[in-house]
Amino acid sequence: MTTSPSATQPGAGARAGEPLIEIEHLVKYFAVREVQGLTMVRNTVKAVDDITFSIADGETLGLVGESGCGKSTVSRCITRLETPTSGAIRYRGRDIANLPEKQLRPLRREIQMIFQDPYSSLNPRQTVGAILSTPLRVHGLAKGKEKARAQELLELVGLNPEHINRYPSEFSGGQRQRIGIARALAVEPKVIIADEPVSALDVSVQAQVMNLLSGLRAELGLSFIFIAHDLGVIRHFCDRVAVMYLGKIVEIGDKPHIYGAPQHPYTQALLSAAPDINVVRGAPPKERIRLVGDPPSPIDPPSGCRFRTRCWKAQDICASQEPPLEDKPGGGDDHRIACHFPEIKSTLVAAVPG
């Protein structure tokens, strides 16, 4: 199944009505032990530290940021593979952040996950048929017709239904990821959380899988939270973008504003490093922003603005006051930035047609 990007863009009313998922002040800390000298010291990794966002029915939100910024932890909290330290996760208005497993199980059908590594996310000892039938049996679906449903799922993701008795080792990486997608779709979810689903695949295969996901999104009316490092993938697939840095969302907004008029220095740096095939012919090359140093440790993040240790705009206020994530002048509707000195990067605006 293939589809063009324009065929999958949502209508203007994609954010109308009540949010499908609301994340409010989500916090996830991990306790760790470290050896310092001859002493074992207990520390806390602040993987996700007070983030708030929502997605509407049929919408796709992209989460981007450097490795270790907390993107995957957010996804694991939403799917309740991890229990949040604090905060609310509302699905259709119901807070699922601390639901016991018995009450949570019926909701697990609604929110499914596609994992990053197609080689380790499938059980090598099970046939494809068994892999796809397991969620059906767990949720009591397609009773007595599990094989037929598994074959239907294989066909849906572009694989041969007759290969139902093969093992994962007999498939390529791209085919294995299609099996992972089929497994996520088996219980007919409303929301798919895709944790870098194409990052482990060859570039040529990435495009095929992305076209498949775009087609499924349009055909099945799915909502997505899409995690990726590749800003080109996010731009192709997502309606809105949330940029994370060290456990915080530093900028969030619709795609035209994030790519066309980014205001947070970190967003500007990410976009300056990404290749852009849409640069106007004859336009001067865009400015490359090179960040100095590595991201600070989430065990001991900087005071105030967490990006200040790498930011060329940092001033005294950045060390003493954490900037709230809020609307700024010129940011547009539903475009929020956490920065004391936001500024539209004009060189990036010029590089985006329209």
pLDDT: which is higher, 41 or 278: 41
Which pLDDT score, from 0 to 100, does residue 220 have? Answer: 93
**Amino acid at site 353:** P
pLDDT at 203: 85
Indicate whether 59 pLDDT > 50. Answer: yes
Which pLDDT score is estimated for 278? 56
∠ CA 327-331-337, rounded to 5°: 50
Residue 86, number of CB atoms within 10 A of its CB: 12
Token readout for 307 is: 């990006």
pLDDT of res. 284: 60
How are beta strands 111-114 and 21-36 bridged, if at all? Answer: unpaired
Does the pLDDT value for residue 279 go beyond 80?
Answer: no
Residue with the larger pLDDT of the pair 61 and 106: 61
CB atoms within 10 A of CB 43: 15
pLDDT at 285 > cutoff 90: no
| More confidently predicted of 354 and 305 | 305
Query: CA-CA distances (angstroms) from residue 200 to 1, 60, 108, 195, 207?
Result: 21, 21, 26, 11, 13
Q: Tell me which H or E stretch contains 72.
A: helix 71-78
Is 340's pLDDT higher than 80?
yes
Q: For residue 1, what pLDDT is reported?
A: 40
Output the pLDDT for position 199.
Answer: 86
pLDDT over threshold 70, residue 3 = no
pLDDT of residue 294: 84
Higher pLDDT, 337 or 328: 337
**Domain segments of the chain: what residues?**
248-350
Residue 290 makes CB contacts below 8 A (sequence gap 6+) with 269
